[in-house]
Structure 1
Amino acid sequence: MENDYRTLLVAIDCSEDSGRVLARAAAVAGKDATLHLIHVIEPLALAYGADVPMDVSDLQSSLMDRARKAALEHAQRFAISPDQVYVELGSIEKTIQEKSDQLGADLIVVGSHTRSGLALLLGSTAKGLVPGAHCDVLAVKVDQS
């Protein structure tokens, strides 16, 4: 029985750590594997509560455009086709799990931090993916030592 992963969904935050996460995914992928890349942006209304006092659709659209550009730059460095790059709006864990199921992924790869602040959110994303995932989850430790 072959243990190679063939369909990998790599969740990145588009930070400098994303290259490290992608490199680890490429290293564990089977020789005929397909890498898919996802970056999820939480809706501003979800992140800041439903009562956002202004229309944030232009800002949300701008964030999506910049995220797509950054994700495509990361994908290009790892020869991931643009049609295998997904920039989605939604709940981070739920969106990653749904995309993984749609793709029939056998591995989700995500960065994991143990720092505080925004980095703590990403660490909790890795931890939160495990219970609902229908495949293996690889949390790549990306803390700077």
Structure 2
Amino acid sequence: MTSPYRRILVAIDCSDESAQVLSRAAGVLSGNDGELHLIHVIEPLALAYGADVPMDVTDLQSGLMTQARETADTYAGRYQIPADNVHVELGSIEKTILDQADKLDADLIVVGSHTRSGLALLLGSTARGLVPGAHCDVLAVKVDQKGS
């Protein structure tokens, strides 16, 4: 039996838990007849902290993008995801993930979900927020908190 999911967009937060989310997505995509795409979205600092950021954050934003790209590429390498299928974007997290899924005509979006605080809380709320606007299935992977 082949998986009904041929094009899967995996949203990661570039934390150590991203491996669990990718592992689950790879498991859903059985065989070699499908493709995984990886996305990591960085919210613009001005959007995250309000428009009144008191300094020029261009260099900081650029550094975050570079670091995120390197981390995403590392995860992609573990699952033989081609560089063209790795998307590191700047924008509103939910909207950017949904737009990329539509652009790719994805069959499934896979995202981590947990009940923690800080950045982990943000991704947890992202999992819930994706469902209403998604044109495909959304799989929220319950992330194991052991060792963190």
Which aligned segments of 4 or more residues in structure 1 are displaced greater than 4 angstroms?
none
Q: What is the alpha-carbon distance in structure 1 between the residues aligned to residue 121 and residue 61 of structure 2?
A: 23
Counterparts of 1:82 and 1:119, CA distance in 2? 26
Q: Paired residue for 1:103?
A: 104
Output the CA distance in 1 between the equivalents of 2:117 and 2:21: 19
How many angstroms apart in 1 are the aligned matches of 2:119 and 2:6? 31
- Cα distance per residue 1:35-72 (max 9 Å; x no partner): 00000000000000001011100000000000000000
Q: Hey, what's the Cα distance between the residues in 1 that align with 2:99 and 2:37? A: 13
* Matched residue SS, 2:127: helix
Match of 2:26 in 1: 26
Structure 2: 5+ residue stretches without partners: none
Taking the TM superposition and a 5 Å limit, the aligned residue runs for 1:72-87 are 72-87=73-88
1:5 aligned counterpart, secondary structure: coil
Q: Partner of 1:110: helix, strand, or coil?
A: strand
Contact 2:3–2:28, Cα closer than 8 Å, also in 1: no
Partner in structure 1 of residue 14 of structure 2: 14
Alignment of 1:45-60 (within 5 A): 45-60=46-61
Q: CA RMSD in A?
A: 1.3
Q: Secondary structure at the match of 1:25?
A: helix
Q: CA deviation at 1:116?
A: 2.3
Partner of 1:66: 67
Q: Runs of 5+ in structure 1 lacking a partner?
A: none
Distance (Å, rounded) in 1 between the aligned partners of 2:2 and 2:64: 41
Aligned length: 145
**One-letter identity of the residue aligned with 1:120:** L
**Aligned counterparts of 1:72 and 1:117: Cα–Cα separation in 2:** 24
Q: Whole-Å Cα distance in 2 between the matches of residues 109 and 116 of structure 1?
A: 20
**How far did residue 143 of structure 1 move?**
3.4
Deviation at 1:30, TM superposition (A): 3.8
* TM-score normalised by structure 2 residue count: 0.94
Letter in 2 for 1:91: S
Q: Percent identity?
A: 72
Q: What amino acid sits opposite 2:10 in the alignment?
A: V
CA distance in 2: counterparts of 1:131 and 1:101, whole angstroms: 14
Following TM superposition, by how much is the alpha carbon of 1:118 offset from its aligned partner in structure 2, in angstroms?
A: 2.3
Tell me the equivalent position of 1:88: 89
C-alpha deviation, 1:3, in angstroms: 4.8
Quote the Cα distance in structure 2 between the aligned partners of 1:73 and 1:124: 25
The letter for the 2-side match of 1:35 is L
